[in-house]
Amino acid sequence: MKKNLFFFVFIVALTFGLGLLGVSAELCAQEAKAETKSGAAATAARAPEGQEYSGMYSFLKDGEFVQVTVEDAGHVSGFVSRFGDGESDKGAFLDQFFKSGKIEGNKLSFTTDTVHGVAFDFKGTVERGDGKNPGDESYFVLKGTLTENESDVNKKVTSHAREVVFKMFPQDAAPAPVVRK
């Protein structure tokens, strides 16, 4: 009889313990789900300031563009895709990655690498454009001074500055940002 009583108590305790484990697992799952939701909200709240300016903008000629990606701590990466103008690269599509770039509030500046003797410096602002809603064409525009620095074979640099306005492409037309390693 003692064996049966012991066995009965053991089975009841085991059943009760397994039930508690099930409830505990369910509570842990609910807590994890709540943390994920609050973590996502916290991550969104910590998105880098100015990140809404990230996107693809027109450049100097039709078919050319500049990709701007706002990262942490005001750092900006990106590249210019343009057609070559020189004798050796006339009409060729050239990508010039940002050597440096930063944003402070809406003040943007970047410098590209030199490709085929040409580099660009941009100093200006990101402003609201004619687009009505986020994702619309020209929702943001880059306004400022673009300086083209051209090096000849003797390493003599000639600079040409001009005022520019680059319009943001519509969101559905923009490719995913390229991450430079």
pLDDT tens-digit map of 43-87:
344 455 788 999 999 999 999 999 999 998 899 999 999 998 877
- Tell me, yes or no, whether 115 and 149 share the same domain: yes
Residue 130 lies in a domain: yes
Q: How confident is the model at residue 171 (pLDDT cuts 50, 70, 90)?
A: confident
Range of the domain at 40: 1-46
- Tell me, yes or no, whether 39 and 85 share the same domain: no
Rounded Cα–Cα distance for residues 37 and 65 (Å):
37
Q: Look at residue 73 in the predicted model and tell me its pLDDT.
A: 84
Q: Look at residue 161 in the predicted model and tell me its pLDDT.
A: 97
Average pLDDT over residues 82-96: 87
- Residue 37, pLDDT above cutoff 80: no
Residue 109 lies in a domain: yes
Write out pLDDT tens, residues 107-158: 999 999 999 999 999 999 999 999 999 889 999 999 999 999 999 888 899 9
Q: Which residues contact 170 (CB under 8 A, 6 or more apart)?
A: 135, 136, 137
Q: How many structural domains comprise the chain?
A: 2
**CATH number for the domain that contains residue 67:** 2.40.128.30
- Tell me, yes or no, whether 9 and 95 share the same domain: no
Q: Look at residue 38 in the predicted model and tell me its pLDDT.
A: 44
Rounded Cα–Cα distance for residues 62 and 10 (Å):
80
- Residue 17, pLDDT above cutoff 80: no
- CA-CA-CA-CA torsion for 113, 116, 119, 120, nearest 10 degrees? -110
CA distances from 57 to 6, 33, 85, 133, 151 (A): 77, 38, 20, 16, 26
